[in-house]
Amino acid sequence: MKISSIIKIINEYGILWCFYRILYILKIKFLSINTNAWKFFERKTNIENLDIFDIDIKCLEKFLGNLEIKYKNKIINQANNAINGKIYVFSKKTLDYGNPIKWNFNPITQKETNNNKMWFKIPDFNNEIGDIKLIWEPSRFCHLYVFSRAYIISKDIKYYKAFSEQIKQWNINNKYPYGVNYKCGQESAIRMINVLMNYEVFKNYNLVNEEDRKNVKKIVEESYKKLLSNFFYAEKCVKNNHTISELTGLIIGAWCENNNKRIKKYYQKLVKQLEIQFKEDGGYIQYSFNYQRLVFQLLEILFKIENKINVKIKSKTKQLVYKSVMQLYQLQSSNGKLPNYGSNDGALIIPVTCADYRDFSSTIRYVICFFNRQKAL
pLDDT along the chain (377 residues), means of 10: 74 86 92 88 92 95 96 97 97 95 97 94 88 96 98 98 98 96 97 98 98 98 96 92 97 96 95 94 94 95 90 84 94 92 90 90 90 62
DSSP state of 192: H
* Cα distances (angstroms) measured from residue 51 to each of 186, 253, 265, 374: 21, 11, 21, 27
16 burial type by CB count under 10 A (0-12 exposed, 13-18 middle, 19+ buried): exposed
The pLDDT assigned to 12 comes to 77
The pLDDT assigned to 347 comes to 87
- The span from the CA of 129 to the CA of 113, in Å, is 7
- The span from the CA of 265 to the CA of 251, in Å, is 9
Residue type, 288: S
Helix (H) / strand (E) containing 55: none
Can you name the residues that pair with 94 across neighbouring β-strands?
88
- The span from the CA of 167 to the CA of 306, in Å, is 27
DSSP secondary structure, 97-113, as one string: -TTTT-TTEETTTTEE-
Residues 291 and 342: beta-carbon distance below 8 Å: yes
The pLDDT assigned to 374 comes to 57
Maximum separation of any 2 CA atoms in the chain, in Å = 64
Question: In sequence order, which ranges of the chain are alpha helices (DSSP H)?
Answer: 3-13, 15-33, 57-65, 69-83, 132-136, 144-154, 157-173, 185-204, 210-233, 241-256, 260-277, 289-309, 315-331, 361-372
The pLDDT assigned to 4 comes to 74
Residues 206 and 239: beta-carbon distance below 8 Å: no
Residues 226 and 238: beta-carbon distance below 8 Å: no
The pLDDT assigned to 373 comes to 64
The pLDDT assigned to 1 comes to 64
3-class secondary structure, 82? helix
* Cα distances (angstroms) measured from residue 272 to each of 11, 70, 267, 269: 23, 44, 9, 5
Residues 326, 330, 332, 336, CA torsion sign: positive
The pLDDT assigned to 185 comes to 96
DSSP state of 218: H
Report phi then psi at 178, rounded to 5: -95, 150
Residues 163, 168, 173, 179, CA torsion sign: positive
Residue type, 299: L
Go through the chain and tell me how many residues it has.
Answer: 377
Residues 121 and 183: beta-carbon distance below 8 Å: no
- The span from the CA of 162 to the CA of 239, in Å, is 36
The pLDDT assigned to 164 comes to 98
Can you name the residues that pair with 88 across neighbouring β-strands?
94
The pLDDT assigned to 375 comes to 53
Q: What is the pTM of this model?
A: 0.95
- The span from the CA of 100 to the CA of 173, in Å, is 11
What is the CB neighbour count within 10 angstroms for residue 128?
7
